[in-house]
Chain A
Amino acid sequence: MQIEPAFSACPACDLLFRRRPLPHGMAASCPRCGTTLGVGTDDPVSRPLALALASLILFFVVSLEPLLVLRLGDREVPATLFGAVLTLVDAKMYPLAFLVFWTSLLAPLTTLLGLILCLWPLRQGGTSRLGPGFFRIALALLPWALVGIYFLSVLLALFKLKDLAEIHLGAAMVAFAALVVTMTALRGSLHPEPLWERLELLNDLEHPDGLDNLEHPKRP
């Protein structure tokens, strides 16, 4: 199989296009089915990398600090992300425990680490043999990172419990709100196609027979 760099196709209706440069910040959509095909960007690396690093730091705070604290007299019950998983394990609901663990902890963490490991070498201008693999994992797991939905659930829980007990937002919730913002921005700033081109270019530089691909200039 050989890549046809002159063409691109709509992923949702297969319409074939001839490619041309898209100015920074402009979006292209398919004239036939309306699917967004891509957004032009001068730098596909720095912004997603910065947002992934910020999200990772926030994610550690969110997963270690309590989300909600229930107070009854002098008793306090904190609930953390991992605590919610353990509660399901204690109730012997293993499939559900895994689903919650997967969508609230494993998928977001792996996505962020995969993106950072893929983008960091690109940012440094170096080569990375494992870059495409990390990027592939990150792209596959990103849809399973349901951080924003979890945040909504915690807020719903707060209201649902207001008649039952004295309930407080935990220390993690400020970081959690920030994490929802950075993850949303990360999804918005991640443009896979130019990144694949960059990764491909680096691989070609390792194997000099691919040097005719240098029409896409490498950034410093």
Chain B
Amino acid sequence: MIAPTPADRPNPGVAATPPTSGPPGPAPGSEALPPVPSPRTALRLGLLVCPLCRAVLRSPTGDTNPGRCPRCQSSLHPRKVASLERTWALILTALILYIPANLLPIMTVTRFGRSETSTILNGIQTLITMGLWPLAAIVFFASVVVPLLKLSVLAGLAFAAGRHSTWRPEERARLYRLVESVGHWSMVDVFLVAILAAVVDLGAIAAIEPEAGATYFGAVVVVTLFAAHSFDPRLTWDPLGAEA
């Protein structure tokens, strides 16, 4: 494994050293400090980064059409294609789907012939009345907090990136990492419905049937995952030092 060190100092020994742009970076020896005044990004130096294998790539002919990565065959683009447009479209889609996901029942519970439908919020209420506080907290967090938090954070990140904001990029980067890592946990409720419906199958005595709300909720989770994936975190950093 080769570890990176900030490319503050252009190395004349490497034939492929790209032309530098902007003022010189921090003095040699200050490698621990982030080179903020003139961030040497791959894009500014005319290099592309493979989105999958992370190889740094250079077009020897200055070709405008980057094509594919020679190492892993991923298609190459300087930034994710139409990142903000896709992110906004997916955020809006998820918000629309979120309404039926919460209003429609996710399952019907039948007990001795009596049927009762249950929405996501009902389910949390039931857990609280059963005295299962920690479980209610887990489901509430995974099904209500995570999707809403994720969508609002993504909307904020996309809004800031769209305005080329240079406001608090470290915090915005941290928020993006958070949003990327917690998204999957919302699937808990979908799996819960599936496993409950599979195991409680005793006809009129006791049965649990999945309902349409679960489908909408699953769609919210998937669309939100794609929304997070379509946002390019490098857009947060691109405006920095651009004025120099």
Q: How far is the CA of A3 from the CA of B197 in the complex (A)?
A: 52
C-alpha gap A6/B12 in the complex (Å): 12
A4 and B58 contact, CB distance less than 8 A: yes
**Residues B5 and A1 in contact, CB atoms below 8 Å apart:** no
Which residues of chain B have C-beta atoms less than 8 A from A1's C-beta? 48, 57-59, 66-70, 76
Stretch of A46-54, A56-64, A145-153, A178-186 contacting B (4+ beta carbons < 8 Å): A145-153
Residues on the B chain within 8 Å of A84, using CB:
191, 194-195, 197-198
Q: How far is the CA of A156 from the CA of B126 in the complex (A)?
A: 13
Which A residues touch B11, using CB under 8 A? 6, 18
Contacts between chains A and B (CB distance < 8 A), count: 284
Please, which residue of chain A has its CB at the minimum distance from the CB of B215?
A96
Query: By the criterion CB–CB under 8 Å, are B222 and A196 in contact?
Result: no
Chain B 23-45 interface 0/1 with A at a Cβ cutoff of 8 Å (1 = within): 00000000111111001111101
Name the A residues within 8 Å of B233 (CB-CB).
12-13, 33
Partner of A31, one of B16, B32, B74, B210: B32
Number of interface residues of A (CB under 8 A): 88
Binding site for A on B (CB under 8 A): 1-7, 9, 11, 14, 16, 31-36, 39-43, 45, 47-49, 51-60, 66-74, 76, 109, 111, 126-127, 130, 132, 135, 138-139, 169-170, 173-174, 176-177, 184-185, 187-192, 194-202, 205-206, 209-210, 212, 214-215, 218-219, 222, 233-234, 236-238
Given contacts A31-B33, A154-B191, 16 further A-B pairs with CB under 8 A are A9-B41, A13-B234, A14-B43, A19-B4, A20-B3, A31-B6, A37-B4, A70-B201, A100-B191, A136-B72, A146-B184, A149-B188, A153-B188, A157-B195, A164-B206, A193-B53
**23 examples of A-B residue contacts, CB within 8 angstroms:** A1-B48, A2-B70, A15-B42, A44-B1, A68-B199, A77-B200, A79-B195, A83-B198, A93-B214, A95-B218, A100-B190, A132-B73, A140-B52, A146-B187, A149-B187, A153-B188, A159-B132, A161-B200, A164-B206, A165-B206, A193-B53, A194-B1, A196-B72
